Structure 1
Amino acid sequence: MSSVRIVKVADRKGLEEFIQFHYDLYRGDPYDVPNLRSDELRTLSRDKNAAFDFCEADYFLAYKDGRVAGRVAAIVNNRANERWQRKSVRFGWIDFVDDREVSSALLKAVEDWGRERGMTEIVGPLGFTDMDPEGMLTEGFDQLGTQATIYNYPYYPQHIESMGGWEKDNDYVEFKMFVPDEIPDKYTKVARMVEQRYNLHVKKLTRREVLREGYGQKIFEVINETFKDLYGYSQLTPRQIDQYVDMYLPMADLNLITLVEDWNADRKLVGVGITIPSLSRAFQKCRDGRLWPFGWWHVLRALKFHKTEGVDLLLMGVLPEYRMKGANALMFADLIPWYRKYGFKWGESQVEMETNENVQSQWQYLDKVQHKRRRCYRKGL
């Protein structure tokens, strides 16, 4: 008889315990970057996350010897399942102590939950949408995590791969790029060429344009079109877009956001580059994900005063019909001088499908290293 007890989260107290477990498990770890508690609450709350317009979810805690020993979220994204013609239940927010009885019990809870809803496979780690962290780290355990990705102990994939029935569904890679002393000649030449030949031009935003003239919505419409054919993607709804604009853009340093417009098409927005100062060290200093009493100062120092060595390339996208026209060179020719000015030494690419050569070719003129790999697993039910 199993000594692990699985309990479904049923109230705010249980949700707080669900969120707290990650902070407890990774306390003091030099590589994990814990999310802000307020962001976790917003994402996991049915009344606050617009993804619940088309998603179902429940959260489970594993108890052993009277203590929390693991957690997992079970999610069905109906919009993604319809788009990709799959009946997938996703597992996400998975954490567990190094005990295979615990990890097995957590995943079984998700499997049973999915079967009850007619699902035929379990996949993950995935969130509600691509805007949530995804993929279990399989390489790069000695590398600092980022705000937008998952960090996990090396024993996590060992547990999954020892259970039987699980297989690779998708792998992601991540790159660390080093900020050059000067803009690479290739970017400069291509940027000049695309301005002259295709009449594409850099657009820098004002705060008014973001908040009052709809540019925030336009940005995410380009992201929707750019990402629509990527693994498991479900297009963001207008309500989700409004939510992300409100969450991320008001505090953004607009010098680190570069857009590309086609002046032959009434200044149509065709490319988006959203980058932010790395918040990894700042978030590590927010005890248990709390901004108060002192965490806010570390975040402010990174965001506003650029007291960080890295920059996260959070969202980079160019409409498919413009990818071969060199629009990405325009973005880097504009952004690299800002990185130099702010003193950034390196940038993180975030997750990229290992097969996405178009995205990876963006970094070909930079000194770089592929320093992380992560995997989404699949199992038939």
Structure 2
Amino acid sequence: MSSVEIKRVTDKKGLEAFIQFHYDLYRGNPYDAPNLHFDEVNTLSKDKNAAFDFCEAEYFLAYRDGKTVGRVAAIINNKANARWNRKSVRFGWIDFVDDIEVSTALLKAVENWGREHGMTEIVGPLGFTDMDPEGMLIYGYEELGTQATAYNYPYYPKHMEEMGGWRKDNDYVEYKLYVPEKVPEKYQKIAEMITKRYNLHVKKLTKREVKKEGYGQKIFDVINGTFGNLYGYSELSQRQIDQYVKMYLKMADLNLVTLIEDRNADNKVVGVGITIPSLTRALQKCRNGRLWPFGWWHVARALFFHKTDVVDLLLIGILPEYRSKGANALLFSDLIPWYQKYGFKWGETHVEMETNEKVQSQWQYLERECHKRRRCYVKEL
């Protein structure tokens, strides 16, 4: 068997091969949620992704006998490094066949590139920012993946352990939340109480308000305020916010988007819940991540006609100073009836740090199951 050859992606053809490898490796997998091809292109292209205003990146492909056997992205988020006083090179978009020589060579390429740029540690899997997939799945391999996360085979973390030198930097958990037959009484009582006591109210959006009245900006101001002190977070720039408004809100069913406003503070937006019908099964039917010729129909059925049992809790955020007031109860008392109406059976939370008990306490009045765990690894260079 010939040795593994690592090549840097230098052109569009190489980027296409980088994107295509995941589709080939996971073809037919019942749990993976493959991204749409054009979304991958937009995220990985340096002239399209606003994160490149403060990030640097290189992409590497692994070959054996002329066949692609692995890929990885090397990323330096200069803003996050400055914020957290670290010199980290991140690895992300990592996929490989079950061959320890391949995975070792890929990560060695990231390590070398990081050293060349003055980094002192390698950490991941992470993307450019927290809006990208985070962590390597270490538990929950037979659970349905989500559009916002990356699935991986069970042999991935085994390779990390076998290579040596890596240690846990952070773990994330994900919960399956079962939609109740009625809104839990606790949520209803808390929602009624904080409406009267603190003058907090639910705000439902119209398309016009999103496009013309700046609510997209207000939403991501809350996201920055909510996640600003969490592991590895880098504040979203204005260009990123503009991109994410188009990405998350342009096609959203606004019945599944709920804001909380403080009417004692000039209707300041203090909480946000962006939820969407799960697209995983639909994306699995989009060959190579393409909407044409038939993929668009499956995506449309899930997105607009709610032909799925699952709702993804994409972004849930409450400003820190409002969490103790129970503002999250307003979100759920509004959203749960919509879930019931659309026939959703359960919801998928986004990744949550295992130590973030305040976030996990939001689900205490719902039947829930911690069904996935992800790990970020770190290694000194």
Residue 256 of structure 2 is matched in structure 1 by 256
Residue 168 of structure 1 is matched in structure 2 by 168
Write out per-residue CA displacement over residues 334-380 of structure 1, whole angstroms, 9 at most, x where no aligned residue. Answer: 00000000000000011000000010000000001000000000000
Secondary structure of 1:235's partner?
coil
Give the Cα separation in 2 of the matches to 1:2 and 1:305: 51
Residue 212 of structure 2 is matched in structure 1 by 212
Write out per-residue CA displacement over residues 44-95 of structure 1, whole angstroms, 9 at most, x where no aligned residue. Answer: 0000000000000000000012100000000000000000000000000000
Identity rate, percent:
77
Give the Cα separation in 2 of the matches to 1:28 and 1:304: 25
Residue 229 of structure 1 is matched in structure 2 by 229
After TM superposition, the structure 1 = structure 2 runs for residues 1-381 of structure 1, keeping only pairs within 5 Å, are 3-381=3-381
Residues 309 and 343, structure 2, Cα contact 8 Å, conserved in 1:
yes
Give the Cα separation in 2 of the matches to 1:214 and 1:192: 28
Give the Cα separation in 2 of the matches to 1:215 and 1:178: 30
Write out per-residue CA displacement over residues 277-313 of structure 1, whole angstroms, 9 at most, x where no aligned residue. Answer: 0001000110110000000000101111000000000
Write out per-residue CA displacement over residues 113-153 of structure 1, whole angstroms, 9 at most, x where no aligned residue. Answer: 00000000000000000000010000000101000001000
Write out per-residue CA displacement over residues 157-182 of structure 1, whole angstroms, 9 at most, x where no aligned residue. Answer: 00011111100000000000000000
Instruction: Report the alpha carbon displacement of residue 2 of structure 1 after superposing the two structures with TM.
Output: 7.2
Instruction: Report the alpha carbon displacement of residue 221 of structure 1 after superposing the two structures with TM.
Output: 0.6
Give 2:363's aligned amino acid: W
Give 1:156's aligned amino acid: Y
Secondary structure of 1:245's partner?
helix
Secondary structure of 2:312's partner?
strand
Residues 2 and 65, structure 2, Cα contact 8 Å, conserved in 1:
no
Give the Cα separation in 2 of the matches to 1:109 and 1:60: 7
Give 2:43's aligned amino acid: T
Gaps of 5+ in 1: none
Residues 138 and 375, structure 2, Cα contact 8 Å, conserved in 1:
yes
Secondary structure of 2:32's partner?
coil
Give the Cα separation in 2 of the matches to 1:226 and 1:250: 22
| TM-score, normalising length: structure 2 | 0.99
How many residues are aligned here?
A: 381
Residues 2 and 64, structure 2, Cα contact 8 Å, conserved in 1:
no
Give 2:280's aligned amino acid: S
Give the Cα separation in 2 of the matches to 1:8 and 1:82: 27
Gaps of 5+ in 2: none
Give the Cα separation in 1 of the matches to 2:154 and 2:350: 19
Give 2:290's aligned amino acid: R
Give the Cα separation in 1 of the matches to 2:33 and 2:228: 28
Secondary structure of 2:305's partner?
coil
Q: Runs (4+) of structure 1 moved beyond 2 Å?
A: none
Give 1:119's aligned amino acid: M
Secondary structure of 1:325's partner?
coil
Give the Cα separation in 2 of the matches to 1:246 and 1:258: 17
Give 1:299's aligned amino acid: V
Give 1:194's aligned amino acid: I
Secondary structure of 2:27's partner?
coil
Give the Cα separation in 2 of the matches to 1:246 and 1:225: 20
Give the Cα separation in 1 of the matches to 2:164 and 2:32: 28
Give the Cα separation in 1 of the matches to 2:286 and 2:359: 33
Give the Cα separation in 2 of the matches to 1:102 and 1:41: 24
Give the Cα separation in 1 of the matches to 2:247 and 2:336: 25
Instruction: Report the alpha carbon displacement of residue 10 of structure 1 after superposing the two structures with TM.
Output: 0.3
Give the Cα separation in 2 of the matches to 1:278 and 1:30: 14
